[in-house]
Structure 1
Amino acid sequence: MKKPRSIAAAVVVAVILAATAAWAVHASRRASAVAAVAVPKPALTVAAATLQSAVLPVRISANGNISAWQEASIGTEADGLRLAAVNVNVGDVVRRGQVLAAFASDTVNADLAQSRAAVAELEAALADAEDNARRAHGLQATGAMSAQQIQQYLTAERTARARLEAAQAAERTQQLRLAQTRVLAPDDGVISARSATVGAVLPAGQELFRLIRRGRLEWRAEVAASELAKLAPGQVARLTPAGGETIEGRLRVVSPAVDIQTRNGLVYVDLPPDTPARAGMFARGEFDIGTGRAMTLPQSAVLLRDGHAYVMRIGTDSKVMQTKVVAGRRAGDRIEITGGIDASARVVAAGGAFLGDGDLVRVVDDPVARSSGRLVSGAASAAVN
């Protein structure tokens, strides 16, 4: 009777031990699961950056129009003549003295021929008057002629000379009119406008062409009155026309006056002769006036959202917080920070666009990455498992 009881007791003990072991395994697994849920996983592995002192260029921003350095208005001096030929068009490069247009000269040639004939006639009359005056002057001592007659011959000589000079002046006038039938370029340059039409009969003073002298362009930039004192001739300016490439020019002169309405002054910047810009374009630009020290971050650390600059600041618990900062100058891959964080604050060097407020990050302790602001594992690295 004792043996069956012993076997039953052993079975009961084995069952109890198996249940205890099963409960222990289940409790262990449950504790591991709870622990796994309780410990959050980092969203990204990032490098931290802090504010670093750097030497940045000091620049003054400006806006303005690109204009011709000097634009010449070329008109007609001939009055009432028909335009017979137009030799140039808009965009043509011309040289000083080049014939741009010509008027019909038949009428002027006829008037000139008539003036020349009148001059020839009066030259003959003057020669005859001079002979008479010379003979009269020779007879003055003999008394063969009265003083009154001698004076008449001398007066006739002076009258003939005056008439000849008037005729010669009329001839020069006709020669000038003939020269005015050819419209010449006053300087080297580029034709920027043309209103001349073949066959038109034009009054004196009518504009025919406009010429950009020497093809030179300038940027007329508007600068705040408070900044004008920092500018001086010779400084470098870099401007970018709308939709164009950056152009480098040299400041030529600062306007001595300021507009009383806008409180801005004009500065004139010479552009290179091979510039792709065109007169009338609008351009934005900057003037380099020196260098200065500033506290900077990598540009990859600064996010632009809704027109403002932000950084993802890393807290002591490795969680990030979006923080608004005040951005200033930019140079290379650095951007000046003038407010919003202090020098000891750590921010996400890159990849902040993939993070939100409160996200946990894993910060890699890399001094080089902290100072340069480069992301160690990439902005889009996978979450740490």
Structure 2
Amino acid sequence: MKEVTMKTISIPLPLLVLVFMSVIAPAKAQNAASANAKAVSASAKPSLTVTATQVGQAQMATKLTANGSLAAWQEAIIGSESSGLRIAEVLVNVGDVVNRGQVLARFASEAVNADVAQAKAALLEAEATAVEAVTNADRARGLQASGAISKQQIGQYLTAEQTAKARVAAAKASLDVQQIRLKYTQVLAPDAGIISARTATVGAVVGNGAELFRLIRQGRLEWRAEVTSADLSKIASGMSVTVIAPNGEQAQAKVRMVAPTVDVNNRIGLVYVDLLPAKDKKLSNAFKPGMFARGEFMLGSSAAMTIPQQAVVVRDGFSYVFKLNPDQRVTQVKVQTGRRMQVNGAEQIEILGGINAGTQIAASGVGFLNDGDLVKLVAAPITPTANPVPATKK
């Protein structure tokens, strides 16, 4: 039998140690890295405490904004209808509210009263002459058949009768003229309204047609909105309008008429808007003719995605929101904003794109957040907002 001999291979100890370390070291390094990551994650602190909200949906009004001037609806010019008379009394001043037919001023009427008395006397004389002429004419008619008087004399009596009657009519007309002059010694308001200007002064002698007062008829004001030709077709009579005074005060108004023409120089058309008085039948002092005001035409409403105004931050001219991730970190998302509206005193802003309805976003402290920040969520106070859209369950 042959003997089998086994040879023993001897491995140097340094090489064996090197092989062992090359197998064990990667596993230890991986475990150490994982442990370090867990330690860092456990020790990380939220950078900010925020409240959360969801992108909701609501009906938002579609508005068209325009600028224009306030003016009187109609401004009546009240002038003198008498000539050469002296103003004896002025009874109203600028800003006074007057009624139709109210006396605004009086002229000295002594001369006119004398003319009226003279005209009355002339009328009485003409009537007396007419009575005699009628009597003579009646007598001549009775003698016409008997032939006691000639036909020529009869004709003279009949002509005298007609002439006397004509003189009576002329005297009456003259008296009417003088009475009209006497009536014109009182300047009356042609309509109810507000005195906007006064040039009448006591003692002045004015000519026929001279301006004495200006009156804003019925106290009505209108806003003459300047609208581009592209937007003019969107406006119709009866449309509701909110007019905003220079101090921010608002008044409800209604479109009365859209101008039938457009200015060829700037392609701007005028829209005449009646300002509606308040319950006390008077407009606020914030609205005066000649003021420049801004207004919003209510074109309708449409559905829109909305979020609170404070959830939007503007950086470098762009609008952003911070989306909340499941790991309590935020992602900065660029969005497009649109219309704005007030809901129970809170301002909501429309989101046109960049984020979907139902997405949960940070609602407070967004101005201090950056992309990837870790945040802590707290319950938001219950306030009425736009109708939220529930997030879909995955």
TM over 0.5: yes
Correspondence for 2:69: 65
2:258 is equivalent to residue 255 of structure 1: yes
Task: Give, in angstroms, the shift of residue 67 of structure 1.
Answer: 2.6
Counterpart of 1:285, as a letter, is: G
Q: CA RMSD in A?
A: 3.4
> Is the counterpart of residue 275 in structure 1 residue 283 in structure 2?
yes
Query: Which letter does structure 2 place at the counterpart of 1:53?
Result: Q
* 1:150 paired residue among 127, 150, 154: 154
Q: Provide the secondary structure at the position in 2 that maps to 1:78.
A: coil
Who is 2:341 aligned against?
A: 330
| Separation in structure 2 between the aligned mates of residue 223 and residue 206 of structure 1, nearest angstrom | 38
Residue identity in the other structure for 1:268: V
Counterparts of 1:1-385 in structure 2 under 5 Å? 42-49=46-53, 51-249=55-253, 251-260=254-263, 261-272=266-277, 273-276=281-284, 277-304=287-314, 308=317, 310-314=319-323, 318=329, 321=332, 323=334, 325-332=336-343, 333-341=347-355, 347-355=361-369, 357-358=370-371, 360-362=373-375, 364=377
CA distance 1:239–1:256, shift in 2 (3 Å): closer
C-alpha distance 63-170 of structure 1, shift in aligned 2 (>3 A): same
Does the aligned pair in 1 maintain the 2:257–2:271 contact within 8 Å?
yes
User: 1:145: how far off?
Assistant: 1.5
SS in 1 for 2:169: helix
Q: Are the equivalent residues in 2 in contact too, given 1:310–1:324 (CA < 8 A)?
A: yes
Q: Structure 1's 116 and 361: CA in aligned 2 closer, same or farther, altered over 3 A?
A: same
TM-fit CA distance, 1:133: 1.5
Cα drift, residue 78 of structure 1 = 0.4
Supply the AA of the counterpart residue of 1:364: L
Write the distance in 2 (CA, Å) between the matches of 1:361 and 1:279: 57
Distance 1:44 1:330 in 2: 29
Cα pair distance change 1:192/1:65, threshold 3 Å: same
Matched to 2:351, the amino acid is I
Structure 1: tracts of 5 or more residues without a match: 1-30, 374-385
Q: Distance between the aligned counterparts of 1:304 and 1:79, measured in 2?
A: 70
Give the drift of 1:336.
0.5
CA 1:133–1:368: 2 relative to 1, 3 Å = closer
Instruction: Quote how far apart the aligned CAs of 1:266 are.
Output: 0.6
Q: Deviations over 1:254-302 (max 9, x none)?
A: 3251423333341323311232133333322223333211122211112
Which deviates more from structure 2 when the two are superposed, residues 315-324 or residues 199-208? 315-324
Q: Equivalent pairs: percent with the same residue?
A: 47
Q: Which residue identity does 1:79 align to in structure 2?
A: S
Q: Report the more deviating stretch, 222-231 or 104-113.
A: 222-231
8 Å CA contact retained: 1:84, 1:199? yes
Quick one: distance in 2 between partners of 1:102 and 1:244? Answer: 42
**Aligned with 1:257: secondary structure?**
coil
The one-letter code of the counterpart of 1:255 is V
Which stretch of the first structure deviates more once superposed, 199-208 or 145-154?
145-154
Distance in 2 separating the partners of 1:164 and 1:116 = 11
* 8 Å Cα contact 1:223-1:267 kept in structure 2: no
1:23 aligned partner: none
The answer to which of 291-300 and 230-239 deviates more is 230-239
Q: Which runs of 5+ in 2 are unaligned?
A: 1-34, 387-394
Deviation (angstroms), 1:102? 0.3
CA distance in 2, matches of 1:183, 1:91: 17
Question: Could you tell me whether the CA contact under 8 Å between 1:242 and 1:283 is conserved in 2?
Answer: yes
Q: For 1:319-351, what per-residue CA distance to the aligned partner results, in whole angstroms no more than 9, with x for missing partners?
A: 654746333233423211224556687653222
Give, in whole Å, the separation in 2 of the partners of 1:138 and 1:238.
84
Would the aligned equivalents of 1:48 and 1:363 in 2 still touch at CA under 8 Å? Answer: no
